[in-house]
Amino acid sequence: MAKKKVRTGGCRAQKAAVEVQEQLVETETETVCAPKSRKELHTYVKTHLGLDVPDKAVCSGHDAPMDYLWHAYSADFAGLPEAVGAEDSADCIVWAGRGGGKTRLAAVATLLDSIFKPGCKTRILAGSLDQSSRMYEYFCDYALTDAYRPMLEGKVRVGRCRFGNRSDVGVLAHSPRDVRGIHIHKLRCDEAELFKEDVFRAAQFVTKTRDGIRGAMEIFSTMHQPYGVMQRLIDGTYQSKIRLFRWCVWEVIERCEGRTCSQCPLWSDCGGKAKQASGYLKIDDVIDQMRRSSRAAFESEMLCLRPRMDNAVFADFDMETHVRPVNYNASLPLYLAMDFGYRSPYVCLWIQRDDEGVVRVLDEYQDVKEELATHIEMVSRKTPGGLGTIAATYCDPAGTQRNLVTGTSAVTELARRGIQCTYHPSRIVEGIELIRQVVKAGDGKSRLVIDPGCGRLIEAMRCYHYPANPSSELPEKDGVYDHPIDALRYFFVNYGRMNKAKIVRT
């Protein structure tokens, strides 16, 4: 039975936090106080759940698994030392490798929320029902022990259980219908890389802060693909300020003792890091996993270095090599490359090519659901020196098709505004190969540089991909990454073909 001590004064959330912090949980064998510090939480989980959570970040820029657990627990206790501040987001993203314990830690966080935050409503959602069930099974392993069974209300059902303090935990099916319409405190999404887009969109709107408990969406996954959900989420954390927790095999591997580093197969990646570790993954298991997997798979699944590039169209594109500031050079010709769209994005790129053959992308413009006249106005404003400085504009041949409403075409409208369009029919694979040649030529050199301000093009270069089960040689036409790449293709297939290409004139 739970006892609460209520203090007067302060806002409702603060009083609720104080109540929960001072709550006493009485079991048949002992009385347990809710942890009031990170150290106490670590000790509590080790003592009562038998889990010694690694509490040291070994790699530069990484986090310890305990960092996540403290974030999830303390988000509702703003008064605790080093707790998540009320002004900070309670949401978080966990990027960890295979065997990194993210699913089990999420189950532990769910148990802690259920017993120390009365009335907390938690739901588990994963890329598959099997994965959701796995987290729930971990949770039940703890909840059904002698220490916590008395706190449960009724029987533990498949995918749902309730506590006597009004907390409850449930599993959601991976469908928009199951996700929409619910309002809960905590949503834990496991293996988000496998989520369907419509399910993920629906899941973003189900959490709600109430009764002193903050709403929070927590996302867990490895990063399998350079164009998947996790990359988009991780790239977005820099703008959204959502807390990103990242750890790899070196944060969770067992401490290395008594082994000769020079003879260890892991040495080239480890470099002695395992001697600082305090995890639970067996070293011999990691060695076996490395030997039976490809290098790319080991790097993405275990080291969390980068996603696998198996299906990436431009696998040689590298941020350090191809992205740096590019200034307009008035002595070089300036070109525009356009991909038309209304419901799909309209894209324009500003490009120059220097005397050494390096293609320099200076700027980009992208927008949707605007009339062509608005796009032309924006292009005019962004063009250095005005439209008169443009040497040529390369575009989609489909721009010659007449609009049934206006009776004119996009290239004709552009020509009337002083932008002469050049186009040349080509196959998609032809343009892709031309881009690949400047990304990394046969001599190993790169002849492409993109200004950091061209964020959508950079993202497209990283994420443009082939279908998982390709039936042709064409990349995925996903409506997101294909449009900036299409605009870039039009530059390459038309550049140098001025004598062969058609020019639209008024």
Structural domain boundaries in the chain:
2-247, 251-301, 319-503
Q: In angstroms, rounded to a whole number, what is the distance separating the alpha carbons of residues 63 and 30?
A: 33
Higher pLDDT, 297 or 38: 38
Question: What pLDDT shows up at residue 76?
Answer: 95
Enter the pTM of the model.
0.68
Question: How confident is the model at residue 496, as a pLDDT?
Answer: 67
Residue 424 is predicted with a pLDDT of: 85
- Whether residue 1 has pLDDT greater than 50: no
Reported as a single tens digit per residue, the pLDDT across 121-163 is 999 998 877 778 899 999 999 999 999 999 999 989 888 999 9
- Whole-angstrom distance, CA of residue 462 vs CA of residue 478: 14
Query: Which numeric CATH code is attached to 319-503?
Result: 3.30.420.280
Point out the least confidently predicted range of 54-58, 277-281, 380-384, 423-427.
423-427
User: Percent of the chain, pLDDT > 70?
Assistant: 86
354 and 329 in contact (C-beta within 8 Å)? yes
Select from 69, 31, 71, 37 the least CA-distant residue to 53.
Answer: 69
Token readout for 293 is: 């997997």
Over range 203-216, report the average pLDDT: 95
CA separation for the pair 153, 140 (Å, rounded): 14
Mean pLDDT value across residues 482-505: 74
Question: Which stretches within 8-120 are classed as H helix?
Answer: 12-21, 38-48, 65-74, 102-116
Residues in the chain, how many?
A: 506
Closest Cα partner for 206 from 139, 127, 128, 123?
123
- Coil, strand or helix at 208: coil
Of residues 350 and 293, more confidently modeled = 350
Task: Give the DSSP H or E segment for 125.
Answer: strand 121-126
pLDDT of residue 11: 44
**Among 30-34, 236-240, 321-325, which range has the highest average pLDDT?**
321-325
For 124, the 3-state DSSP assignment is strand
Mean pLDDT rounded to a whole number for the chain? 86
- Find out whether 300 and 222 touch, Cβ atoms under 8 Å: yes
Q: 34 phi and psi, to 5 degrees?
A: -65, 135
What would the mean pLDDT of 363-371 be, rounded to a whole number?
Answer: 89
What does the block give as tokens for 376?
């032309």
Residues sharing a CB contact under 8 Å with residue 319, sequence separation 6 or more, in sequence order: 458, 462
d(CA 147, CA 318): 52
Residues of the chain with pLDDT > 90, as a percent, come to 55
Whole-number Å distance between alpha carbons of 168 and 146: 19
What pLDDT score was predicted for residue 261? 92
DSSP assignment letter at 85: P
- What order do you get walking across the sheet with 92-96 strand by strand? 152-157, 160-163, 168-171, 121-126, 186-190, 216-221, 92-96, 243-247
At 32, the pLDDT band (50, 70, 90 cuts) reads low
Number of helices and strands in the chain (H, E): 18, 18
Query: In CATH terms, are 2-247 and 319-503 the same topology?
Result: no
Would you state the pLDDT for residue 361?
97
> What confidence score (pLDDT) does residue 222 get?
84
The pLDDT score that the predictor gives to residue 255 is 96
Q: Would you list the DSSP string of 293-350?
A: S-HHHHHHHTS-SS---TTBTTTT--HHHHB------TTS-EEEEEE--SSSPEEEEE
- Is residue 2 scored above 80 in pLDDT? no
Tell me what pLDDT residue 130 has.
Answer: 77
Task: Give the pLDDT score at 6.
Answer: 35
Question: At 272, phi and psi to the nearest 5?
Answer: 95, 0
The yes-or-no verdict on residue 7 having pLDDT over 50 is no
What CATH number is given for 2-247 in this structure? 3.40.50.300
Q: What is the largest CA-CA distance in the chain?
A: 90
Q: pLDDT digits over 407-465, tens only?
A: 678 888 888 888 889 888 888 989 999 999 999 988 888 999 999 999 999 989 988 88
Question: 26: which DSSP letter?
Answer: E
Joined together, the tokens standing for residue 126 give: 């994963």
Range of lowest pLDDT (41-45, 363-367, 385-389, 489-493): 385-389
**C-beta neighbour count of 310 within 10 angstroms:** 16
Work out the angle between the directed axes of helices 102-116 and 129-143 (0-180°, nearest 10). 50
Q: What is the pLDDT of residues 240-270, one digit of tens each?
A: 678 999 999 999 999 999 899 989 999 999 9
Look at residue 286 in the predicted model and tell me its pLDDT.
95
pLDDT at 27 over 80: no
pLDDT score, position 406? 64
* 3-class SS shares of the chain: helix, strand, coil, % to 5: 35, 20, 45
pLDDT(471) > 70? no
13-24 residue pLDDT tens: 444 444 444 444
- Both tokens of 337, joined, read 């490359």
Give the pLDDT of residue 444.
Answer: 86
